[in-house]
Structure 1
Amino acid sequence: MIGDRFGAVGGPSPHIVTSRQTGGALGVALFAALAGPATGTSFTAHACALFLAAAVTFAVLGVLCGVGSRYLAERTASPDLQSPTMVRTKRINS
């Protein structure tokens, strides 16, 4: 297998890896800023609220992704919405 100058073929792009690391660091910084100082009396309550909000957001986005992918699958399955190339290929092969 031949690799490119960033690594092996099919490996993750260094730009994607860097952006994921930056996003993680920003997420931790935002969480810490919203939760307040760790020595504060309300840190535990704020941290629990933030974790609950993150869990609800994750669940809602998961449902939306499922609904969106089902909608796209149904939309692309309709013969009226297929590209002319696909329709022509089906006629030739039929």
Structure 2
Amino acid sequence: MNTQVREIEDLGEGIKRQILAYNKDIMAVKVWFDKGAIGYAHKHHHTQITYVEEGEFIFTIAGKERILKSGDSCIIPPNVEHGTTTTTGGLLIDTFSPMREDFL
């Protein structure tokens, strides 16, 4: 198990990520979005729970648009296309099961 917080990674285009903790079964990640940044539509085999720590985000999950504000959360099932953008900037806490090996 790795509980060591990693350095913040600049992913470009106004998005930064920091892995908080993980083991093979689960991973928690902070993701910062600058105003107008886009988390492009994608899908993966992991279950994802996202909590909005700060800001307002427009999520598109399986073709349906939803606005999430600070304190809101959503669950994204495996292999479902999803993406987000923000007009305010903000911070998300993403949890993945199993862990995202591609983030390491």
TM > 0.5: no
Q: Where is the helix percentage greater, Structure 1 or Structure 2? A: 1
TM-score, normalised by the number of residues in structure 1:
0.19
Kindly indicate whether structure 1 or structure 2 has the higher relative contact order, using CA contacts under 8 Å at least 6 residues apart.
2
TM-score, normalised by the number of residues in structure 2:
0.17
